[in-house]
Amino acid sequence: MFGNRGCRFVAPEGELRLSNSSLIRDSGEPDKQDFQAREVPVQELPTETLPYLMNSRYCEVDLLSPIAAGLFGEFLVDMARAGHLRLDS
């Protein structure tokens, strides 16, 4: 999809460093929302969803993951976590 190569793996516990470079083109249209969506472990996601989880310069996962866990880790899983976000403010 999009002409990019990708793969899935479950990393063992401990330090892991991966790097890449990419260019993203976006229509600017907001994503559709499904408030009944459930949280799914990465290893159970359908293969066609993987391109949307790739790191980019616009979303530095290694920097944002600890922040997200600190802000929302105590909340319930699924969309209950997302319900605490206000994107319109």
pLDDT of residue 76: 57
Task: Please state the pTM of the whole predicted model.
Answer: 0.34
- Beta-carbon contacts of 21 under 8 Å, excluding residues fewer than 6 positions away, are 57
DSSP 8-state assignment for residue 12 = P
Strand partners, 56: 59
**pLDDT digit string, tens, across residues 43-81:** 888 888 877 777 777 777 778 888 888 887 776 566 555
Q: Please, where are the H alpha helices in the chain?
A: 61-72, 79-82
The mean predicted confidence, pLDDT, of the chain is 75
Closest CA to 51 of 11, 20, 9, 6: 6
Residue 40 has pLDDT above 70, yes or no: yes
